[in-house]
Protein backbone atom coordinates (compact mmCIF):
# COMPACT_ATOMS: atom_id res chain seq x y z
CA UNK A 1 0.00 0.00 0.00
CA UNK A 2 1.47 3.30 -1.13
CA UNK A 3 1.35 5.66 1.84
CA UNK A 4 2.13 8.70 -0.30
CA UNK A 5 0.85 9.00 -3.88
CA UNK A 6 2.73 11.30 -6.24
CA UNK A 7 1.89 12.65 -9.67
CA UNK A 8 2.77 13.15 -12.43
CA UNK A 9 5.36 10.47 -13.09
CA UNK A 10 7.16 12.76 -15.53
CA UNK A 11 6.98 16.41 -16.41
CA UNK A 12 8.44 18.51 -19.21
CA UNK A 13 8.51 22.27 -18.74
CA UNK A 14 9.95 25.12 -20.78
CA UNK A 15 12.66 27.23 -19.20
CA UNK A 16 11.08 29.99 -17.17
CA UNK A 17 7.84 28.06 -16.68
CA UNK A 18 6.25 26.75 -13.50
CA UNK A 19 6.67 23.10 -12.54
CA UNK A 20 3.97 21.63 -10.31
CA UNK A 21 4.17 18.23 -8.61
CA UNK A 22 1.39 16.87 -6.45
CA UNK A 23 1.24 14.42 -3.56
CA UNK A 24 -1.55 12.95 -1.47
CA UNK A 25 -1.51 10.99 1.75
CA UNK A 26 -4.00 9.11 3.92
CA UNK A 27 -2.42 8.83 7.35
CA UNK A 28 -3.45 11.81 9.47
CA UNK A 29 -0.64 10.98 11.92
CA UNK A 30 1.90 12.34 9.42
CA UNK A 31 3.24 15.66 10.65
CA UNK A 32 6.25 16.45 8.48
CA UNK A 33 6.27 16.69 4.69
CA UNK A 34 9.61 17.16 2.93
CA UNK A 35 10.47 17.31 -0.74
CA UNK A 36 13.69 15.82 -2.01
CA UNK A 37 15.64 16.38 -5.23
CA UNK A 38 17.71 13.56 -6.67
CA UNK A 39 20.21 13.70 -9.51
CA UNK A 40 21.36 10.52 -11.27
CA UNK A 41 23.92 8.62 -9.23
CA UNK A 42 23.35 10.74 -6.13
CA UNK A 43 21.37 10.33 -2.97
CA UNK A 44 18.26 12.49 -2.43
CA UNK A 45 18.83 15.99 -1.05
CA UNK A 46 16.30 17.91 1.01
CA UNK A 47 14.81 20.79 -0.92
CA UNK A 48 12.09 22.19 1.32
CA UNK A 49 9.78 20.88 4.03
CA UNK A 50 6.57 21.86 5.77
CA UNK A 51 4.55 20.98 8.87
CA UNK A 52 0.74 20.85 8.71
CA UNK A 53 0.20 23.95 10.85
CA UNK A 54 0.96 26.20 7.85
CA UNK A 55 -0.58 26.23 4.38
CA UNK A 56 2.40 27.47 2.42
CA UNK A 57 6.16 27.67 2.69
CA UNK A 58 8.41 29.44 0.24
CA UNK A 59 12.16 29.24 -0.17
CA UNK A 60 13.53 31.04 -3.18
CA UNK A 61 11.92 29.60 -6.31
CA UNK A 62 10.46 26.62 -4.44
CA UNK A 63 7.07 26.71 -2.72
CA UNK A 64 5.14 24.01 -0.90
CA UNK A 65 1.36 24.38 -0.78
CA UNK A 66 -0.33 22.28 1.88
CA UNK A 67 -4.03 21.44 2.14
CA UNK A 68 -4.62 19.63 5.42
CA UNK A 69 -8.32 18.96 4.90
CA UNK A 70 -7.70 17.41 1.48
CA UNK A 71 -4.55 15.65 2.69
CA UNK A 72 -2.64 16.95 -0.28
CA UNK A 73 0.53 18.94 -0.77
CA UNK A 74 2.35 20.17 -3.81
CA UNK A 75 5.69 21.56 -4.90
CA UNK A 76 5.82 24.55 -7.19
CA UNK A 77 9.08 25.47 -8.92
CA UNK A 78 8.90 28.98 -10.29
CA UNK A 79 11.06 30.17 -13.19
CA UNK A 80 12.17 26.58 -13.87
CA UNK A 81 15.75 26.22 -15.10
CA UNK A 82 17.53 23.42 -16.97
CA UNK A 83 19.57 22.82 -13.80
CA UNK A 84 16.32 21.87 -12.04
CA UNK A 85 16.07 18.77 -14.25
CA UNK A 86 16.08 15.94 -11.74
CA UNK A 87 13.78 13.50 -10.01
CA UNK A 88 11.67 14.93 -7.20
CA UNK A 89 10.23 12.93 -4.34
CA UNK A 90 7.67 13.96 -1.79
CA UNK A 91 7.72 12.24 1.58
CA UNK A 92 5.80 12.09 4.83
CA UNK A 93 6.78 11.24 8.37
CA UNK A 94 4.95 10.57 11.58
CA UNK A 95 5.80 9.95 15.21
CA UNK A 96 7.34 6.56 14.51
CA UNK A 97 9.99 8.37 12.45
CA UNK A 98 9.41 6.15 9.42
CA UNK A 99 9.64 8.18 6.27
CA UNK A 100 7.37 7.25 3.37
CA UNK A 101 8.37 8.47 -0.07
CA UNK A 102 6.32 8.98 -3.19
CA UNK A 103 7.26 7.22 -6.41
CA UNK A 104 9.01 10.26 -7.85
CA UNK A 105 8.55 12.75 -10.67
CA UNK A 106 11.15 13.07 -13.40
CA UNK A 107 11.35 16.74 -14.32
CA UNK A 108 12.91 17.90 -17.58
CA UNK A 109 13.30 21.62 -18.18
CA UNK A 110 13.81 22.43 -21.84
CA UNK A 111 16.10 25.40 -22.59
Partner 1 sequence: DTGVSQDPRHKITKRGQNVTFRCDPISEHNRLYWYRQTLGQGPEFLTYFQNEAQLEKSRLLSDRFSAERPKGSFSTLEIQRTEQGDSAMYLCASSLTQGFYNEQFFGPGTRLTVL
Interface contacts to partner 1, rule CB under 8 A: 4, 6, 32, 34, 36, 41-46, 49, 51, 89, 91, 93, 96-104
3-state SS assignment for residue 75: strand
Half-sphere exposure of 13 (CA within 13 A, CB side): 25
In the complex, least distance from residue 47 CB atom to partner 1, rounded to whole angstroms: 11
17 vs 32 by CB, closer to partner 1: 32
6 vs 19 by CB, closer to partner 1: 6
69 vs 98 by CB, closer to partner 1: 98
Give every strand in the sheet of 4-7, ordered side by side: 4-7, 19-25, 72-77, 62-67, 56-59
Amino acid sequence: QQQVKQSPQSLIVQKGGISIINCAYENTAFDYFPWYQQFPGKGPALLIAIRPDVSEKKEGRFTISFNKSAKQFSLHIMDSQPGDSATYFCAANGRRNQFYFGTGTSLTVIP
